[in-house]
A and B are shown apart, each in its own frame.
Chain A
């Protein structure tokens, strides 16, 4: 398939993905905004005012970047895993499999669809956050780059989860038992400086800590970790997951008999 045809094919998948989550916006865009607003009210305004400073900033300012990143991660992952698994379940994925669209374009179309939802939700949550606190961006490049890469990483993870999944239960196991605990323990609500050295060391094994802190660095200019290493780590993970996804597609794992 020539470059131009592949581009049309890829952009068709991407547009369909965006159309899908925009069509069901009450299920895809509204719930994360309500959830995050509750976090802002409860953790930021009500409890946060009694906590005092965290990492040198008022608690509300500290927690906002983490909550934005949390919504980007969960929505990027959730969009791709549910969309691709539904396509498998309804067998509409066969429309793509019988077409000449290359595997990488299929994966890229779904992943970019997940990124689009992650970024739109992140943007809406950011706007809502501005009702609770003033936000200024310390380093725009780092902020935009880390949120885009993190969204890509979790969209890829959602894609792989969807390929392996053989029931709707299987697409909720990883978000429930892995993604949510890692996110909550990934420095969204606290600085790891509060932890004992043992728990600090353990926390540094959590990849989400690096993404949340890099994003916080972009917004506030403070971080618990080395941001450069965070970028290297995220890029390595993206490379690994993309290779894994392409391997599964080319071998037809759970897609072709």
Chain B
């Protein structure tokens, strides 16, 4: 099957010598919901910039549904929609015009562009704002406007560069639902995000990029299986003056009513509860200290750092 996105040995060295990408390769399969993660400055936005032609690559190849960007970039662009990290629309244009005009740039007749604009503005809750100048929108509305604009030509591959940055949790969840819906309809989605909870709940496959190289490229399920330890916060109904001693577990007292317990792979949480009960501690609630993917992400990056020091 032809990959939705195929990147081979992609390199980018900026003027001044900074090497942002050191020969990365990965593939995204059609219909996938794919996470491209990495710390700030890792090379995610450079990769996206090259795919959508805003950045010129130094070496390597990129193809979208089998169309090589070097041989037929216009055809490749028709298959691609991009939601960038920064707002990149005219602040003085009206919401409806921004989306409908983008349809025109893709060669869509005006009537079709207007019908699609109405469809996507309604789906994204912006129809009431269609006559409003873009600068008057809230941050969340501006992000949704960019999603509507990217979808106007109904691309087969949609890339979203931190689409929920600065968006409140309620709106973020409605955007997730919308993205899941368009993915279910067959659109391949690549997502970069700093909210690892977002990647864990939405994406099936993942590539982690750091300092211009791919440090992990697998399914989220297999990646989470490699998680060796998890840290939980347990709330107790009793006031605790010191941390209980639990055999085989690291246990720290956070405050009088909260404990932090680290559970290694193969250990059972039941043992923790049994030992705490025996010591007269009643657990009222429990949560992960960090998102599981976040723990893995941090451990992968710290491994990289240690290897770098060697």
Contacts and interface: CB of A to CB of B under 8 A. Distances in A.
Interface of A: 1-2, 4-6, 8-9, 11-13, 15-16, 19, 23, 86-87, 90-92, 94-102, 252, 256-257
B104 interface: yes
B107 A4 contact: yes
Contact of B104 (A9, A102, A256): A9
A100 B106 contact: yes
Interface string B101-128: 1101111111000000000000000000
Interface stretch (B31-39, B82-90, B212-220): B82-90
B107 A100 contact: yes
3 tightest CB-CB pairs across the interface, nearest first?
A: A5-B107, A12-B104, A100-B74
A99 B89 contact: no
A97 B97 CA distance: 18
B156 interface: no
B88 A94 contact: yes
Interface of B: 14, 49, 52-56, 73-75, 77-78, 80, 82, 84, 86-93, 97, 101-102, 104-110, 149
Nearest to A8: B107
A257 B54 CA distance: 7
A13 to B, nearest CB: 8
A29 to B, nearest CB: 17
21 contacts: A1-B74, A2-B107, A5-B106, A8-B107, A8-B108, A8-B110, A9-B104, A11-B104, A12-B101, A19-B97, A23-B92, A90-B89, A92-B88, A92-B90, A95-B88, A95-B102, A98-B52, A99-B102, A100-B77, A100-B105, A100-B107
B149 A95 contact: yes
B143 to A, nearest CB: 15
Nearest to B46: A257
Nearest to B81: A98
B77 to A, nearest CB: 4
A165 B106 CA distance: 27
Nearest to B77: A100
A86 B55 CA distance: 20
Contacts of A11: 104
B54 A256 contact: yes
Given A6-B107, A100-B106, A257-B56, A92 B89 contact: yes
B62 to A, nearest CB: 14
A12 B88 CA distance: 18
A13 B88 CA distance: 16
Contacts of A100: 73-75, 77-78, 105-107
A95 to B, nearest CB: 6
Nearest to B104: A12
Contacts of A257: 14, 49, 54-56
Contacts of A95: 88-89, 101-102, 105, 149
Between A9, A90, A101, A252, the greatest number of chain B beta carbons within 10 A of the residue's beta carbon is seen for A90
Contacts of B53: 97-98, 256
Contacts of A252: 56
Nearest to B91: A90
A125 B44 CA distance: 53
Given A6-B107, A95-B102, A100-B107, A87 B90 contact: yes
